[in-house]
Amino acid sequence: MNSCAVEGCGKTVKAKGLCAMHHQRLRRHGDPMFSKTLMERKACQKNGCGEPVLARGFCRKHYYFQRRTGQLAPLAEPQIHSYN
């Protein structure tokens, strides 16, 4: 009995050396490890923010700020007092 080729999975192989779940991911996404990349949440690209990314590399706050102003948020945000 073979087990899934994905490290740490260990389930019984269904097809192509992968278990049913990972084989389905391979078919759907072309990558059996697809969910792992999804789970690695990216952080906002703005310096010192670190909030999870909503879109275009920015968190919710900075994404809407960028959309509203049509540019990248400035490094200093003097009008936001509740931040610190």
Where along the sequence are the contacts to Zn ion (CB under 5 A)?
Answer: 4, 6, 9, 11, 19, 22, 44, 46, 49, 51, 59, 62
Structure tokens at 15: 């097809």
Per the CB < 8 A criterion, the answer to whether 24 and 39 are in contact is no
For Zn ion, which is the closer residue by CB, 11 or 16? 11
Q: What is the distance between the alpha carbons of residues 18 and 21, in angstroms, rounded to a whole number?
A: 8
CB of 46 to Zn ion, least distance (A): 4
CB of 36 to Zn ion, least distance (A): 12
For Zn ion, which is the closer residue by CB, 9 or 64? 9
Per the CB < 8 A criterion, the answer to whether 4 and 19 are in contact is yes
